[in-house]
Amino acid sequence: MIGEGTQSTNQRRHNYVQENVEVGFFTDPTVCIGCKACEVACKEWNEVPDDGFTWIGNSYDNTGRLGASTWRHVLFLEQDCQKGNQITGLMGLSDAQSEDPFRWIFLSDVCKHCEEAGCLEACPTGSIVRTEVGSVLVQNDVCNGCGYCVVSCPFGVIDRRPQPLPDAGGAFKCTFCYDRQKSGLVPACAIYDPQETSVRGIHAFFLILGEPEAYGLPPKPQVPTIYLKSAWTSALLTSIAALIAVLGAFLFFG
């Protein structure tokens, strides 16, 4: 798709919001080069504040994780195995066989805009809504900062912004560039991606090499509300047992 100019999938205008067409990301780490242009584009378009220029010290990945001020995060995954026909060792200058194989995999991670969104189910104020294109949007002017959404996201995506950043206390995450989508534009992170690793799909798909745990992703994501039925059943049974015990005590000692 590179070099196709206005014919590129990332350049064409659409009417998805007006026509209620569900869309999403497809992210392919096999072509990602870890340039972090998507991260920068997200920051720039959404005017997301910097999160401290912290040097984490164990990777070239200086942003570390998704958060209230990192709505897209390019994960640097360092693994001790070869990537395809990659020449291992010091830039291929030494004997490759004598060097430990090493590969870098990059995954441009983002909110999954889940079909069953734990954050949306947990929010007591109605701040989190489902949009016409199927994405999950936080309305920051309605959010009261309770944090229920933070503990209900199985992917650790949404977070509250700490002091002294602007709008501190409120919950923030990727908006799926709802403002751009309403104008027929694709998300900022996808349009500035030189490799076009993120294209249209349903909500958020990721092609990953190996196990999801290696990327810090849960192997079987669950929203906490699936335990509501068993929790309420346990509470009811406990109440009945307590009532019987109290009545029994009155009858026995009364």
Least separation in angstroms between CB 16 and ligand SF4: 13
Whose Cβ is closer to ligand SF4: residue 88's or residue 106's? 106
Whose Cβ is closer to ligand SF4: residue 105's or residue 157's? 157
Whose Cβ is closer to ligand SF4: residue 88's or residue 198's? 198
Residues interacting with ligand SF4, by CB under 6 A?
A: 41-42, 45-46, 71-72, 110-114, 117-119, 122-123, 125, 127-128, 136, 138, 143-149, 153, 155, 157-158, 171, 173-177, 187-189
Least separation in angstroms between CB 186 and ligand SF4: 9
Least separation in angstroms between CB 1 and ligand SF4: 18
Least separation in angstroms between CB 228 and ligand SF4: 16
Distance (Å, whole) CA 187 – CA 164: 28
Point out which residues pair with 54 in neighbouring strands.
none
Q: How far is CA 135 from CA 52, 89, 147, 175, 246, in A?
A: 28, 43, 20, 8, 50
Least separation in angstroms between CB 72 and ligand SF4: 4
Distance (Å, whole) CA 206 – CA 214: 13
Whose Cβ is closer to ligand SF4: residue 32's or residue 122's? 122
Relative to beta strand 72-79, strand 136-138 is unpaired
Distance (Å, whole) CA 185 – CA 195: 18
Are 245 and 252 in contact by the 8 Å Cβ rule? The answer is no
SS3 215: helix
Least separation in angstroms between CB 206 and ligand SF4: 12
The amino acid at residue 207 is L
Least separation in angstroms between CB 254 and ligand SF4: 47
E strand or H helix that includes residue 231:
helix 228-253
E strand or H helix that includes residue 205:
strand 203-206
Chain position carrying tokens 């984490």: 56
DSSP label of 186: P
Whose Cβ is closer to ligand SF4: residue 105's or residue 119's? 119
Distance (Å, whole) CA 79 – CA 94: 20
Whose Cβ is closer to ligand SF4: residue 80's or residue 141's? 141
Whose Cβ is closer to ligand SF4: residue 105's or residue 185's? 185
